[in-house]
Structure 1
């Protein structure tokens, strides 16, 4: 008998939900662990033994350790997009996750800052596979009326990661050592590799857990979208579509806002609002926890009305409102509550913006289009922390930096109004 999930014959009988268990769940776990892996460095930069062992004293080095990941992540997404379309999401995922494990092992072995740079670079390049495989698998495994829910599910890993990982990393580093935090995450990442190999396949027809009725249901949803996607089966056609570049701009602007705000919000709370350090960490964790509910709720609702831009535009407006209120409130408690609400809507626009990609690109080219989309967007995202840092230093206040970020969120809101008029 062939290995689990490798036969091309689907079981007959009642409707199964293999698409949620065999695809949705593994993607959720992968994004959760990846977020913990990439944010490991943020916790360790506050760990004195880590800084002493590697001789890190310069603030510029600390910033570079964070930005090098975003840069290589953008490059990785671009390259992996073409690889995924060439060899499939399954093989691409196995290769990417393997080198992701290697990156964590190298991080735990690092004896110098340069070795840590290599670890972060390899991690960025290898984790770049995630969005191309996730978008490709979502396009092939879920009908159009479920794609927002599916993407909200796995995108929630970006919220679950900080909620679960931040305290665990701190506890492991404090009680066992910073190298052990890398080794532990390397082991967890290796388990993710095994999980991916056992559970995921390129399409429903390759998976034995999919019943005939589920396969028919998925194919029916795909056939419904074929007419609309008739002219999107070539990369050039998608790249010539102004809607694609509007989506890139929306995602890029909200990413600038997310990374700019999330990087400096803890410092802002402690330095300006006088919130204790540990308490500010809990404020951030609470915000990411609430973000999970916000993303799932918006995913379900947007699948019902099939108007994603309405929710992305609404989230952009709320980001502006919550950020303004949190900056100008004189209440410490009010600032914390508004920060939780701000974090809860920061991530929501990203998942729904990527869902709109399925209206402009077919599954056949989704890997490449997803790679180009992510590459440009995350290259733009690197601007966020730099804008807040530079403007705040020039003005002597976080207010100037946050107001500068708000300009990008306004652009996102305006573009969403245009997308709404076009039926998105």
Structure 2
């Protein structure tokens, strides 16, 4: 549901950004998670410096956000001046001229951005979206439940070890589930996890000739294990769970393990949000026959549509919101364990952050290990870990996500779901002229 909020100026900013003299009203499309909500709450710091600028926030869940910004930019709607997009959209839309290049001041220190994140938001060396936070995926687990079950999970477990731990920690009588995973359909929801899981089993989206490979034994093995694991050890209603739903379950103490975005670590270790904050530990995403592509790479980033009438003002806001100074502001105001992570090398060198964020090393290791140019066991023609960086993928991945959710609900067999996805992808790739 849309939520429009206009924020008035209150206090002084900490960032140095380009001079803006024109009055402008910026409409910002963003996602409804904790870090983005913090950005809205701290925006008066920006508005104090730029009293001629007004910020109107339009907040969506992840699925709605992707639908709304994609529709707006492809149709030239001009509804937004700042869009929250990801590593999938930024290079494709930048190449098509749909986004304004981001030309920041020297004080922004663009080279401080983690190279994999910066490159994933660029096209031919030009930055088209600035990362607000970056992430990979990893295992987050209850160390107390693991200890009580007599199990030790290493830093780089395989799927057999994860399943054994999930079984040992499951206590349905007391509402504790061994593992919580995304089941809600979407190329950025259940498929973000499932594609990385399939990668670890040796699967891939397309072969070297761009033909879909979704009925392979590797895909079948991964999806079968996913559904079997969630059915036996996951919470009821998993087919409706995305990030926010599982975050609530974990913070309530109802998940033994959760494999998802590293950014979640700052929320589940916050005693103000989590009832289990003192009993959380971390490990790398599980491997199958390989650890290639086992953990995703993503950034939620801010971009300016080329059709905006306030590109200078919008760029100024983005520079403030993604600067090192903004990270320091969050650290000072909210605590260093709550800063947006996964974007800047300087964050991980900061002693305050290292002291506050017990997840820092695990998160950075996950991000650095994800290689979008080499994410599958066998050679693939595409760039991307949990997605293929081609325009057709969003439609294909969205349809595949629906089929996987139907299989999780029991409406389709796994073979039927994969066959449907294969046929759909084959038709889409042929129509696009790949073969």
Normalising by structure 2, report the TM-score.
0.25
Which protein has the bigger helix share?
A: 1
More contact order relative to length (CA 8 Å, sep ≥ 6):
1
Which protein has the bigger strand share?
A: 2
Normalising by structure 1, report the TM-score.
0.26
